[in-house]
Chain A
């Protein structure tokens, strides 16, 4: 097998005295779609913050394309081709829809994504491009957040809880759009509390429990019981 595009080794994370991640190891190969599941507080969002550079690590704990990026700032990590769709969307309220997308395009790596491509993927955003980003519905805001991350043309994209707080029909629309995004060979990490959605789009799954990987395997190979055990920590 080829070298992994993203590799975590013995990744720890702390908030002050509280340790949120304990020695997490992951090897992710180009083009894979990985589901990361786990209960509230299992460390999923901390994992996203650590990978994207919002939380500092030791250099070798995170490698992107073989290069250690553990100590880089988030903006430096972004230029190396990693983008995060943050939990809760977190659009810039002072910026219009189009300005949010253009800001995402600041890291203009070469690739297929542009304003036009994002508007083709989510046509409703084109109609609303001049509006304040906060005037959109939750689902539309999520589309902006995804588009904003895509504008950088990342090699690896992290989706943090993209279904959170959205109506089921909206979640379906967004997940239906995912293959069109990831199909272009992008590597994706999908963090979800909604296990079935995450398993649907992914080829491999990692389950986190209290900061440790409690289960990993091919999506087709893990059973419901194994997931339940790994998710809640009850003996299987």
Chain B
């Protein structure tokens, strides 16, 4: 019994990481209806930027985040205004194709720059530290990851519903023309949304890099986990995204407990079950 409790707790905490993968996707889809196929590769790019920063300055990965996050935000803004804004329109195909191409470019650039060797961010003692709770041993790093995920989503939620920036995001999402009439330049607003999304991606990339080893080819898998978390939770609902990540994480750890080879498969099955039963996800955005 206690063994299974442990499995579920691990799954919940893993879900925090998936929610971080998903939050950026959810944000940009919510604001500009853009499906970013390169999202997974941008997570891996952030992990490599973290790696370079730790090597160059000899700092802890958490300190590296202070540089990686703003850099990712700038990349996001420039990418959006330079390329992605031109692809947005009534047709949903161009942004899909362009971000798909971007995904290929990022993967190959990482391969050129860092080779295919697996890398890892070294965070020292925190990687193996744990606390005991009621007979369970819980790793500090997964716990911290989950805490960060909750904080990030609470922060995004607050930004969306209580700040002028969030008001602008919602207005542009509702009606681009009218928002423009109100003095919002949608090209700039979209740039800000992508900057914010990639800053969150930066957090996700660094935590991923500390948790597991990574190489340039694994972005696609992270994209799938992020997508699944978004869809399970319901499009456009940030807390739903956290719930989606948790469900995906728990399904994966339960699968891995039954047979280590089943981890990814059970996650996909859980996703398919939710999609079959609730095609709009568990907590679709309430239109008020």
Residues of A within 8 A of B (CB): 52-54, 73-76, 78-79, 83-84, 86, 90, 92-95, 99, 102-104, 106-107, 132, 134-135, 148, 152
Contact = CB atoms under 8 A, between A and B. Distances in A.
A104 B170 CA distance: 14
A221 B116 CA distance: 82
A93 B167 contact: no
A54 B170 contact: no
A84 B181 contact: yes
Interface of B: 164, 167-168, 170-171, 173-175, 177-185, 287-288
Given A103-B167, A103-B168, A92 B178 contact: yes
Given A54-B177, A74-B177, A106-B164, A152 B171 contact: no
A52 B183 CA distance: 11
Contacts of B175: 90, 92
Residue from B171, B175, B185 whose CB has the most chain A CB atoms within 10 Å? B171
A78 B170 contact: no
A102 B178 contact: no
Contacts of A93: 174, 287-288
B181 A52 contact: yes
A95 B170 contact: yes
A47 to B, nearest CB: 15
Given A75-B185, A93-B287, A106-B164, A54 B180 contact: yes
Closest 8 CB pairs of A and B: A107-B183, A74-B180, A94-B170, A132-B288, A78-B183, A92-B174, A75-B185, A106-B183
18 contacts: A54-B180, A54-B181, A73-B180, A78-B181, A86-B178, A86-B181, A92-B179, A93-B174, A94-B170, A94-B173, A94-B174, A94-B288, A95-B170, A103-B182, A104-B182, A106-B164, A106-B184, A152-B182
B183 A152 contact: yes
Given A94-B170, A103-B168, A103-B184, 7 more contacts: A75-B180, A78-B181, A83-B181, A84-B181, A90-B178, A92-B170, A132-B288
A43 B212 CA distance: 61
B182 A78 contact: yes
Contacts of B178: 86, 90, 92
A74 B177 CA distance: 8
B167 A99 contact: yes
Contacts of A86: 178, 181
Nearest to B30: A94
A73 B185 contact: yes
A148 B211 CA distance: 49
A63 to B, nearest CB: 19
Contact of A75 (B164, B167, B173, B183): B183
